[in-house]
């Protein structure tokens, strides 16, 4: 991480600054940016030839944003065609002209698994997302998601709590935590993982920023897993991009009468891969499950849960009954043991010793 953070604080070249300045000119989107650069040979020439009246302001704006992004979060700007530009983004029909990174870019070189789903997740959905993410992280993979509430946050947290890698693709500028309650998660991913955004530093979310973000999630991942997605969900847009990119798409089954799962269940019916166990995800990603020696527990609650699992798998309700622990305390003990690699929480809710 240290070398990556150091690299992220190096200043950009004049050519990169002018590439950003051209992108900041009003009404210059990706299509117009490419047209101008193709016509004039460089962003610098395009600025001076076509936008002379705006060039000074745009360059000053670019300098300020580059400085702010580097100072606030250690972010750096990468230009399409550059040596450090993430190669998987080039699989997109419309790769970002400019992409911003903050953190350890080498995480994109290891097996990546996207885990996405609804913001209004059930406890089951969050538990499954966290369990899959934890297993991916312990197996040496990297979890990619969008840092939204619900499934996304559970996936990022599962990877981080397991001591593993995670990448958050943002629908805002890379220096802005959205939603606000994820400010701590935003900082932690910048320090221990990687933040990615095609929006410029300081840019707030707009109507199209999250749908656009979803194509980047799909492109950066080797495998895409959807956990609980209603119809018209952003997670299903990610699924669509996965199919367009020929990425394996896995769906975690959900109750057929739960609107939260109606969209994802439909994709499963139409041919997506059924995820019946955490091991299914690891196999899709080409990852080998981490091997841990059987372990006990460090607190009385964890010891009680560990002992209750000595004769086979149990549901959480059974564990509460057998241990006499309050539901919250029992769940906390189960979560700690799962993240330590001592136990597994199956997608059916059964808890077993590893």
pLDDT given for residue 353 in this prediction: 86
111-154 pLDDT, tens digit each: 999 999 999 999 999 999 999 999 999 999 999 999 999 999 99
* Residue 292 scores a pLDDT above 90: no
Sequence-separated (6 or more) residues with CB below 8 Å from residue 299 = 333, 336
Domain with CATH 1.10.10.10 in the chain: 300-353
Which CATH fold topology does 105-285 show? Answer: Rossmann fold (3.40.50)
Sequence-separated (6 or more) residues with CB below 8 Å from residue 281 = 113, 132, 135, 136, 223, 225, 250, 275
* Residue 55 scores a pLDDT above 60: yes
pLDDT given for residue 296 in this prediction: 56
251-262 pLDDT, tens digit each: 999 999 999 999
pLDDT given for residue 251 in this prediction: 97
Length of the chain: 354
pLDDT given for residue 293 in this prediction: 46
Three-state DSSP class for 64?
Answer: helix
For 334, phi then psi, to 5°, come to -60, -45
Taking residues 313-329, report their average pLDDT.
90
Q: Which of 72-86, 103-117, 230-244, 290-304 bottoms out in mean pLDDT, i.e. has the lowest?
A: 290-304
DSSP per-residue codes, 234-263: HHHHHHHHHHHTT--EEEE---TT-HHHHH
Sheet holding 194-197, edge to edge: 76-79, 98-103, 194-197, 165-169, 142-145, 112-117, 223-227, 249-252, 273-274
Confidence of residue 332 (pLDDT cuts 50, 70, 90): confident
CATH C-level class of 300-353: mainly alpha
Domain with CATH 3.40.50.450 in the chain: 105-285
* Residue 10 scores a pLDDT above 60: no
Taking residues 170-193, report their average pLDDT.
96
Distance CA 6, CA 208 (A): 33
Confidence of residue 3 (pLDDT cuts 50, 70, 90): very low
Confidence of residue 11 (pLDDT cuts 50, 70, 90): low
């Amino acid at each position: 991480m240290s070398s990556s953070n150091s690299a992220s604080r190096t200043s950009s070249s004049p050519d990169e600054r002018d590439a950003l300045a051209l992108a900041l000119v009003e009404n210059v989107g990706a299509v117009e940016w490419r047209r101008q650069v193709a016509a004039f040979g460089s962003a610098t020439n395009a600025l001076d030839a076509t936008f002379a009246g705006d060039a000074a302001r745009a360059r000053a704006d670019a300098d300020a944003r580059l400085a702010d992004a580097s100072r606030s979060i250690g972010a750096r700007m990468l230009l399409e065609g550059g040596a450090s530009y993430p190669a998987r983004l080039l699989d997109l029909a419309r790769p970002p002209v400019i992409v911003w990174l903050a953190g350890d870019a080498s995480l994109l070189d290891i097996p990546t698994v996207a885990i996405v789903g609804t913001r209004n997740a059930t406890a089951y959905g969050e538990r499954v997302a966290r369990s899959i993410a934890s297993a991916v992280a312990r197996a040496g993979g990297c979890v990619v998601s969008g840092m939204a509430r619900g499934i996304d946050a559970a996936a990022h947290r599962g990877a981080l709590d397991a001591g593993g890698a995670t990448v958050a693709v943002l629908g805002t500028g890379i220096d802005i935590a959205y939603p606000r309650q994820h400010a701590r998660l935003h900082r932690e991913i910048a320090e221990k993982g990687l933040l990615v955004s095609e929006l410029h530093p300081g840019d707030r979310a707009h109507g199209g920023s999250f749908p656009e973000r979803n194509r980047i999630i799909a492109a950066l991942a080797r495998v895409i897993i959807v956990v609980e997605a209603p119809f018209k969900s952003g997670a299903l847009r990610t699924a669509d991009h996965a199919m367009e990119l020929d990425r394996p798409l896995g769906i975690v089954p959900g109750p057929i009468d739960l609107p939260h799962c109606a969209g994802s269940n439909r994709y499963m019916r139409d041919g997506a891969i059924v995820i019946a166990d955490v091991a299914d995800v690891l196999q899709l990603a080409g990852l080998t499950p981490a091997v841990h020696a059987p372990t006990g527990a460090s607190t009385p609650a964890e010891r009680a849960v560990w002992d209750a699992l000595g004769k086979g798998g149990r549901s959480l309700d059974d564990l509460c009954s057998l241990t006499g622990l309050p539901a919250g305390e029992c769940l906390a003990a189960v979560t700690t043991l799962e993240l330590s690699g001592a136990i597994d929480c199956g997608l059916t809710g059964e808890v077993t010793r590893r």
